[in-house]
Amino acid sequence: MSDLKLNKTIPSFSLEGTNGSLSIPSDAEGKKLIVYFYPKDSTPGCTNEGIDFTEAYSQFKDLNVVIYGISRDSVKSHENFKKKYNFSFDLISDPDEIACNLFGVMKMKNMYGKQVRGVERSTFLINENGELIKEWRGVKVNGHIQEVLEFLKN
């Protein structure tokens, strides 16, 4: 479970990503920040989600939004994933589940009839002041990016 509360400032944290060390939320100061968590690089749903964010990237940029994708995969895996699909944003590696635990996205899931602990696909919107203003948990990829854009525009 997450200690984060809507309309409250999120604690700062730093992790390695495809563009070196990134500090959240301070590296996005003065901009809105989307932090989305996904289970695994190069899997169908995660690939589609990354492609959808990339296809809408210019719209997010016009709305003064920075995007970071986070999973437990290594920086090397992220670099390959980002390059292969030409993602327009950085991916952050969280092997020790620092951000995953902060945002409360680690869940027990059924995989092939077995219970496994994994990342629940989730998206968080943080405003220019570092405050969490919206969260989407248990995200289904189809239509999600459009839903996020609609929220930002309204």
**100 belongs to the catalytic site:** no
**Shortest CA distance to 66 belongs to which of 90, 33, 88?**
33
Q: In sequence order, what are the residues at sequence separation of 6 or more whose Cβ sits closer than 8 angstroms to the Cβ of residue 141?
A: 45, 48, 49, 52, 121
Q: Which of 15, 46, 99, 132 is flagged as catalytic?
A: 46
Write out the two tokens for 134: 């919206």
- Regarding beta strands 65-71 and 90-93, do their DSSP bridges make them parallel or antiparallel, or are they unpaired? parallel
Catalytic residue numbers, as ranges: 46
